[in-house]
C-alpha cells in the first residue's frame, strides 16, 4: 500500500455541503458536482474550493432574491434577469470583472452538470455574455532585475539560513519556471537535485525539468545552513519553527526586494516564472519546448509570452530607428524597407491566428 505524497503548504478544503443555502435535493446535487470536479475532472483542491465559494455566493444571493431557500425546481425556473441581478449585486460589492467572469463560468459549468445528470434544464444563462475582459499579458522582470533579485534575496532576510532558503526558492522559480506552490511542494527526499527534476503540476500532470548548476548550488547552500531536519517526506522548505514554509513569507520577502531594488509592484514570485519563459523566448527558445517546461496544457497559454517579446521589439524599433517617429503615410512614399520591417514585428491578432508570434518565435521549430 503506497502512501500519498503530503502536500505543502496544506491544501484548501472544499466548501462543506452544509454551507450552501440550498434544499436537500440541491445540496445532494452539489455534492455530486464537487465529487465530479475532483474525481473525473481532476481539478485541483484550489479550483474545487474556489468554485464552491462562487456557487455559495450565488445561492446566498438567490435565497434573498427569491425569498426562499433555492431547490432544483427553483434553479429550473430561473430567468436571465435573475442572473443579471446577481452580477449587478456582485459588481456593487466591488467584485472585479475577472472574478465576475469566473463566477459566471462556474455557474454555466454547474448548470451543464445538472443538465447532463437530468436534474435540471434551464437555458437562462445562454442569453448572457460574460463580462468583457482586457487582454492581459505576463509582466516579467528584466534579466538584470531577475538576477538582482536572486543576488539580494539573502541580504533582506533577518537570519542567514532564511536568506539562503529564500534565494533557493527564487532560484527554482526563475531557473526552472516553477510555480510557487510547486517549489514549496517539494519534499526533503527531493532535495538532492540532479540534472532533471520531476514536478507534478496542475491537474496532476507530471513534467521533467532540467536543473541548472546554479539552482542546484542554491538549494545545497540552503540545506547546509538550515537548522531543521524534517523527515524525508517532510517539506524541503521550512519556516522559522521548522514547519512548511508559508507562501506569504516568500511574497513578503519579494515585497522587501521590490523596496530594496526599486522594482515595480508587478515583481512578484510568479513574475519570476514569467521571466523564465520570456527570457527563454527572447533567446530563441522553441515555443513548444517552453510550453512543456511550464506545464501548460494549451499552446495558446504559452503564446501570451510572444506578446511580451513583441512589445520589447517594437520599443527597440521605435527608440532606435531614425524614421520610427515619422508619419507612416509619409513613410509609405519615402521608404520601401521600413514599413515591411515594422510589419514583421507587429503583434499577432490572436493566439490562434495565422501569425504565431514575433520573428524569434517564428524562426524556431514548433
Give the CB-side neighbour count of residue 102, counting CA atoms within 13 A: 13
- State the Cα torsion 331-333-337-340 to the nearest 10°: 70
**Would you say 149 and 280 are in contact if contact means Cβ atoms under 8 Å apart?**
no
Is 51 labeled as catalytic in the residue annotation? no
Which three three-digit cell numbers place residue 201? Answer: 503540476
DSSP letter assigned to residue 157:
S
Is 305 labeled as catalytic in the residue annotation? yes
Is 228 labeled as catalytic in the residue annotation? no
Separation CA 154–CA 158 (nearest Å): 9
Q: Three-class SS of residue 207?
A: strand
Q: How far is CA 126 from CA 58, 279, 336, in A?
A: 17, 41, 50
Which three three-digit cell numbers place residue 346? Answer: 507587429
3-state helix vs strand vs coil in the chain, percent to 5: 55, 5, 40
Question: Please, what is the Cα angle at 250 between 175 and 274, to 5 degrees?
Answer: 40
Separation CA 147–CA 20 (nearest Å): 47
Which three three-digit cell numbers place residue 139? Answer: 509582466
Catalytic pick among 51, 222, 305, 342: 305
Q: Which residues pair with 200 in a beta bridge?
A: 206
Burial of 312 (0-12, 13-18, 19+ CB in 10 A): middle
Catalytic pick among 188, 296, 304, 342: 296
Separation CA 108–CA 291 (nearest Å): 29
Rg, the chain, Cα only: 25
Is 179 labeled as catalytic in the residue annotation? yes
CB atoms near residue 48 (< 10 Å): 21
Catalytic pick among 273, 274, 304, 342: 273
Using N-to-C axis directions, what is the helix angle for 24-38 and 45-66, rounded to 10°?
Answer: 160
Catalytic pick among 202, 228, 312, 347: 202
Q: Which residues pair with 187 in a beta bridge?
A: 235
Catalytic pick among 19, 53, 89, 270: 270
Is 296 labeled as catalytic in the residue annotation? yes
**Residue entry with cell 445540496:** 27
Catalytic pick among 167, 179, 216, 274: 179
Active site residues: 179, 202, 270, 273, 296, 305
Amino acid at each position: 500500500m503506497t502512501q500519498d505524497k503530503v502536500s505543502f503548504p496544506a491544501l484548501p478544503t472544499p466548501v462543506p455541503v452544509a454551507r450552501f443555502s440550498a434544499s436537500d435535493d440541491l445540496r445532494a446535487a452539489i455534492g455530486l458536482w464537487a465529487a465530479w470536479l475532483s474525481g473525473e475532472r481532476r481539478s485541483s483542491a484550489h479550483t474545487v474550493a474556489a468554485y464552491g465559494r462562487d456557487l455559495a455566493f450565488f445561492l446566498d444571493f438567490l435565497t434573498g432574491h427569491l425569498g426562499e431557500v433555492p431547490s432544483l425546481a427553483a434553479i429550473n425556473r430561473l430567468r436571465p434577469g435573475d442572473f443579471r441581478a446577481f452580477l449587478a449585486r456582485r459588481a456593487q460589492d466591488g467584485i472585479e470583472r475577472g472574478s465576475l467572469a469566473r463566477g459566471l463560468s462556474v455557474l454555466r459549468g454547474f448548470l451543464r452538470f445538472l443538465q447532463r445528470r437530468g436534474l435540471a434544464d434551464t437555458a437562462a444563462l445562454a442569453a448572457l455574455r460574460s463580462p468583457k475582459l482586457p487582454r492581459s499579458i505576463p509582466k516579467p522582470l528584466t534579466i538584470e532585475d531577475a538576477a538582482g533579485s536572486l543576488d539580494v534575496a539573502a541580504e533582506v532576510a533577518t537570519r542567514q539560513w532564511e536568506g539562503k532558503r529564500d534565494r533557493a526558492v527564487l532560484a527554482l522559480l526563475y531557473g526552472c519556471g516553477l510555480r510557487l506552490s510547486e517549489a514549496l511542494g517539494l519534499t526533503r527526499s527531493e532535495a538532492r537535485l540532479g540534472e532533471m527534476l520531476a514536478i507534478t503540476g496542475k491537474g496532476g500532470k507530471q513534467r521533467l525539468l532540467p536543473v541548472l548548476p546554479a539552482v542546484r548550488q542554491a538549494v545545497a547552500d540552503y540545506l547546509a545552513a538550515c537548522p531543521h531536519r524534517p523527515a524525508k517526506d517532510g517539506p524541503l522548505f521550512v519556516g522559522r519553527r521548522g514547519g512548511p514554509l508559508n507562501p506569504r513569507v516568500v511574497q513578503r520577502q519579494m515585497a522587501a526586494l521590490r523596496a530594496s531594488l526599486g522594482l515595480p509592484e508587478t515583481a512578484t514570485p510568479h513574475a519570476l516564472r514569467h521571466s523564465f519563459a520570456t527570457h527563454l523566448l527572447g533567446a530563441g527558445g522553441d515555443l513548444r519546448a517552453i510550453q512543456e517546461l511550464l506545464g501548460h496544457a494549451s499552446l495558446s497559454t504559452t503564446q501570451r509570452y510572444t506578446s511580451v517579446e513583441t512589445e520589447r521589439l517594437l520599443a527597440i524599433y521605435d527608440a532606435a530607428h531614425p524614421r520610427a517617429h515619422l508619419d507612416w503615410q509619409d513613410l509609405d512614399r519615402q521608404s520601401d524597407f521600413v514599413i515591411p520591417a515594422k510589419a514583421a514585428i507587429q503583434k499577432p491578432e490572436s493566439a490562434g491566428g495565422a501569425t504565431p508570434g514575433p520573428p524569434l518565435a517564428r524562426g524556431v521549430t514548433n
